[in-house]
Each structure stands twice: as structure tokens, then as C-alpha cells.
Chains A and B, each alone.
Chain A
Amino acid sequence: MTAPQIEIQLIAVVVAIACAIPGVFLVLRKMALISDAISHSILPGIVLGFFLTHDLNSPWLILMAAVTGVITVVLVEAIQKTGLVKEDTAIGLVFPALFSIGVILIAKNANDVHLDVDAVLLGELAFAPFDRLLLFGADLGPKSLWVMGIILLCTLVLLFLFFKELKVSTFDAGLSSALGISPIVMHYGLMSVSSITVVGAFDAVGAILVVALMIAPAATAYLLTSDLKKMIGLSIGFGVASALLGYWTAHLLDASISGAMTTVLGLVFLGVYLFAPRKGLISVLYRQRQQRTEVSLLTFLLHLNNHEDSNERHINHLNEHINWQKVRSKTVLDLALKNNMISIEDDIVSLTSKGKEFTELALEYIITNKDEKIEPMKDDFFLFRG
């Protein structure tokens, strides 16, 4: 590995961590799309900052852009407060308008400078190491590494200082204002941090990847855990892993690094989405099917309980009576047999004593809806685990 390669990976990792932390809170607060809006609408801020300073590397640029980001949030909220449109519509109206202003400003005034929309939107990590920070003539490493490092440090410090407050205000805004923590201050604090992170990260990795790095690790972690601390840890892990993997994929394919990082993030998310132990698609589908079978079983047992007449309990009759398809009734019968709840003699189905007991318990639960009745059944059946 050459020095620039190490530096690129270092930058990618720092950016991934810095994005993952605010991302978790954005996802939990159902404001994931705000990051998308911010990443687009900072464009006019950058352009204006550039006109003021005529220097692409000035910190004023970042400041201006961050201010525009916060303005976006304020605008969205103002529009939403009029009650004329919903929140998502408000977001959808604000950021394209701001972005358009940015694009037009660039087109009209900044033709001859190195500032084009592609660069802002897509970013290119590969060039990041060539933009060095020179201080007193000494080479201190890539500039974006410093910028992102400082932002990351600030984020971490703020996270540790206000962890409790953030947690409370995220999950229970009412409680937090009762405790004297203003949700509004927390909200704008978080928005400012996100907006600064987006701005700092975008010239290294591009606006779209910033959104991906914020949302995807957090969403992936959210599928795996419901513990806030674990979720932050996991999303940082996912972010770092995909940053590194993405870099090498891009190296292999000779394609855009940010694109590759996003793709890896997407694959990781897809994997977790499908296979997550409790919240993944497959386990959800499995659980739903299981529950359906169990509901059928219950219906079936109740039906048996209601009919003393042997000809009502003939296997073939059951088929048509409850109106199930063959396969399904067979699954249900098998399940019931396996649990010793029914016995079959000469194709006549009857409840065993265990089946009777079960049916009565279930019936009682259905009628009273009290949990303690079904406590012992929870181990065997998905249905009662809720």
C-alpha cells in the first residue's frame, strides 16, 4: 500500500464514523430524509461562500454551507407549520428549489472556476490526498482528513456530553421537556451537527454518499438491535467495514470509490435485511407463516371442541367445512398430531385431553385477553409471543 492509499482509507474511515453517529439519531427520529435535503441544499451556501472568499479551501465555505443546511431545516419546519402541506412534501419542495438556485448561480457566475455540480454532488475520494494542509511550510497530511477529524472529534465530544439528553429527547420528547431538556434545542443541535458533518464530508465523498453513509449503517444496525449504544457501535462498525471494502472494490474495478462504498453498504444492508435474526425479511415471513398455521390450528381445535358428532369430525368433512386447501389442512393436522392434541381413529378426529386443555386456555385468552393465561404456552407457540 502506498501512502496515498492509506490516507484515502483513513479519510474514508473517519468520514464513515463521523456520519454514522448523527445518522443513528436521524433514523431513530424519522428524519432520515433531512440529511438528503441538507446535502442538496448546501449547494447555494457553498457557491455564495465561494463568491465571498474566492477561495475553495476557506473554512468560511463550510460555515456558509452549514448555515444553509440549518436554514433548510428551518424552512421545512416553517412550511410544515403552516399546515398547508405535510412534512415530506415540505422537504420535497425546499431542497430542489435551493439546489436549483445553486446550480443557476454556478452556471451564471462561476463558469471559469473549478466548481462544478458534478464535483459537489459526486465527490471523488481519490483526489482527497492531493489536497494537502500546509502549515508553516510543513506538510501535515490531507486537508479533508483534518477537517473530518475535527468534525468527528466535536461530534464525539458532543455525543458523550449530551448522550443522556439526546436519548431522552429522541425517544420521548414529552418526558424530555418535562425533565427540563428542551427538545427544540436538541433538535437544532442535532441538525447543526448533521449539517456540518454533511458539509465536511461532501467534498471528500460527495453528497449522495454522505446520505448513504448516514442512513444505511444506522438502518442496518437498527435491524439487528434495539439498544441505542449497541446500535451506535454497530453502525460505526458497518460504516468502517464498508468504507474499507468499498475502497478495495473500487480499486479492483477501477471505478468511483464513493460509488463502490455505497454499493458495499447496499449489499451489507440487503444481507441484513434478508437474514437478520428477528427483524429480517426471512424471519418475518417465517413468523407470519407460522402464526397463520397456528391460527388455523386454533380454529381447527375450536371447531373440534364444538362438535360432538362423529360425522362432523371426519377428516374429509373437515376439509370442506373449514374450507381450507388440502395442503394447509394437512399441515395443521400434522402439527396438531405432533403436539398430541388430537387423535385419529378411522379417519375420525377427536381431541385428546391435552388438546382440550389447550383449547380451553386459548379460548379463555381470546375472551378475557389476559396475558397470564397463556404464559406457559409462549414457549411453544409464536402466536402468543406477539
Chain B
Amino acid sequence: MGTAILGAICGMLGSFAVLRKQSLLGDAISHAALPGIALAFLITGAKDTNILLLGALVSGLIGTFWIRGMITKTHLKTDTALGLILSLFFGFGMLLLTFIQKQPNANQAGLDKYLFGQAATLVEKDVWLMATVTGICLIVLLLFWKEFKIMLFDADFTKTLGFNIRFIDILITFFIVLAIVLGLQTVGVVLMSAMLLAPAAAARQWTNRLSVMIFLAAIFGAFSGVMGTAISATQNNLSTGPVIVLVAAVFVIVSFIFPPGRGILFRQLRFRKNRRDLKLQKTLQFMHSIAVTHENIEHPHSIMILNNFQGFTKKTLQKLEEKDWITLSGQQWALTQKGFHSAENLYNQQLSDDSTAD
């Protein structure tokens, strides 16, 4: 249940991350949250989930805004900024964690469960927390739907319309960070980015509409959550996080291959078809160029003369005959009137295509 909600919220917010080309932000933030958890523990000395998550939230936000600052104010690129924040914050977090381990405090055990996550440790309270956050997130999403959408696709236009870009931007980032922090204790630091990305990347392949994409991403996320948990429950010592991620990865692979519009499978089929059409047209054109030199265009020619030209096979000839463009008789072929016209039009059509392309 918890993982389903988590999957759903991650899918929703992940859509924004993917479309804003901030996919790896999730990775960076989930690492950057670690020192926050450790610091929160050091300061309060208690292992209260909410406080720890608050710490994670704060340090995640700091990390995010530092990344933003680095990209806008210096010439360091996005990837460098992300990698820096990720590794530096995480290293600092490790330092704190090992430091805590040396402290005489019995409470400390289990802090490192945030590293790899264990969905089994989720209690009802956590699930409620997640559900609440998801609810708030949904409401905000619906309230600011128009703003979010317009901002995603044309930030400059949004600015000219007088929307407060900064505010919307911060709002969206805040929710992404929130979702990541929530997911930490379920799937862990390393795999959080996949939780965020995979459902969204899968949903993107099925549709071009934002609303449908978010909806699909939420469903994919929820499903991978449920299935992952179910699979890991059936086997011994199979931690939940990795299984969820693998299920999500399967979704992604399926989504890459099968969707009718963008999928690899259909694209390959389309390629094939186009190539065949092109060959057919090439043959027809060659025939046309021969036929033009004769007064009677239906004058038969031997198939042999097509040989010095590559694009002829039994099959193409048959296809051409099927379309009524040529007639075959023994070793001879002849262009029909219809074939002659379509060959002429073929040429014209290409010409007009070219001119419109310019």
C-alpha cells in the first residue's frame, strides 16, 4: 500500500522532472538528503521519522538551490553541478553517520536503513503521511495545473504573461524534493532516482499529452510499487527497493518497444515499409524513363534490361502489377497508362514536396 502511493506520487512528479530535463536531479537530491538525516539525528538525538525527514527535506532543498545557483552563476554545467552536490553531500553525510556510530547513543542503529531502504519497516503512520502528502500534492497540482503546464513548455511565454516563474519553479522543485525524501526510507538513496524517472519515462512513450502522461506515470509507479513488494515478499531476503526498480525498468523496456507512435517496434516497421515503397518508386521511375523514349508507352520491354539497375526483384514486379501500373507477360513488361501517370506524378509530387520544404 505504501509503495503503491509512493509509486504514484513519484510517477506524477517524475513527469515534471523528466519533461524539464532534470531527470538526475532526483539522484542528486536523494543523496543530498543524507547529511540532513544525520544532522537532524545529531541535534535532536531522537529517531523520530518526521524530524529526520524534515532534516532530509531541508538539506535536499539546500542541495537543489545550490545546484541552481551553480548553473546560473558560474560556467559549470548541469552534470558537473549535480555530480558535485551528489557526491559531496553524500560524503559529508557518511562522515556524520560514522561519527554518530562512534557516539555512545543506543538510538543510532537503523539510521543506515535510509541508505538502502526497506519497505517492510513502513508503519501505518508513514503510510498516512505519504497519503497526506500525495493528497496535498494532487490539490496543488490541480490548482496550478495551467501554470505548471505552460511553464514546462514555454518558460519565457509564462514570464510575459505575468506569472511569477520563480514561485512556480520553487513550488514544483519543493514537491519533487518532498517526494524523494518520502521515498528514501522505502527504496533507499540509490534507487530513488529510478523511482522518479522510470514511470515517467515509460509514460512519456505512450502519449503526447501532459495530463495523460501524468496519469499513466502514476499508474505505472503504483503498479511497480505493488508488484515489486509482492515479488519481494514471496522470496527470502530480497529487499523491496531493487525489485521495485527492476519492475519499473521492465515497464520502461516494454514502453520503449511497443507504443504505436514512438515505440521502436513500430518505428522499425515503418522504416521497412518506407524503404520498400522507395524501392518500388525507384523501379517505376526507371521504367518510366525507358518508356518515355518510346512513342507507345505501353510498348513491352524485356525484363532483362532492368538488370543493370539494382532495384528490381520478382516481388517488386509483382507488386507493381498488383497496382495495375505494369503488365507482365513472360519475360516482358509494359507500362500501363495508369503506371505512366503515377510515375509522372511521382516526380511532380517530389518536386512540389521539395518546394514546400524550402
Contact = CB atoms under 8 A, between A and B. Distances in A.
Interface of A: 27, 30-33, 35-36, 40, 79, 82, 84-86, 88-89, 91-93, 96-97, 99-101, 103-104, 107-108, 111, 117-118, 121-122, 208-209, 211-212, 214-216, 218-219, 222-223, 250, 253-256, 258-263, 265-266, 269, 273, 279-281, 284-285
Contacts of B27: 33, 36, 92
A99 B242 contact: yes
Given A97-B249, A265-B91, A89 B18 contact: yes
Interface in B61-116: 69-70, 73-80, 82-84, 86-99, 102, 112, 115-116
A122 B94 contact: yes
Contact of A88 (B24, B76, B94): B24
27 contacts: A35-B83, A84-B204, A85-B18, A85-B201, A85-B204, A88-B78, A92-B196, A96-B194, A99-B245, A100-B194, A100-B245, A103-B239, A107-B239, A118-B112, A208-B87, A211-B83, A212-B91, A219-B76, A223-B74, A253-B99, A259-B98, A262-B91, A262-B94, A263-B92, A265-B91, A266-B91, A284-B73
A111 B201 contact: no
Contacts of B75: 222, 279
Contacts of B242: 99-101, 103-104, 107
A259 B91 contact: yes
A259 B74 contact: no
B73 A212 contact: no
Contacts, number: 202
Given A91-B24, A279-B75, 15 more contacts: A30-B79, A92-B193, A92-B197, A96-B193, A96-B245, A100-B242, A122-B94, A215-B87, A250-B95, A256-B95, A259-B94, A262-B95, A263-B88, A266-B89, A269-B88
Given A92-B24, A97-B245, A265 B88 contact: yes
A279 B112 CA distance: 38
Most buried by B among A101, A111, A266: A266
B138 interface: no
Most buried by A among B24, B26, B82, B97: B24
B246 A101 contact: yes
A30 B242 CA distance: 28
A127 to B, nearest CB: 13
Most buried by B among A99, A111, A256: A256
Contacts of A214: 83
A125 to B, nearest CB: 12
A88 B86 CA distance: 15
A255 B201 contact: no
A4 to B, nearest CB: 18
B252 A93 contact: yes
B80 A255 contact: no
A27 to B, nearest CB: 5
A43 to B, nearest CB: 10
B74 to A, nearest CB: 5
Nearest to A260: B95
Contacts of B116: 103, 117
B194 A32 contact: no
A35 B80 CA distance: 10
A262 B82 contact: no
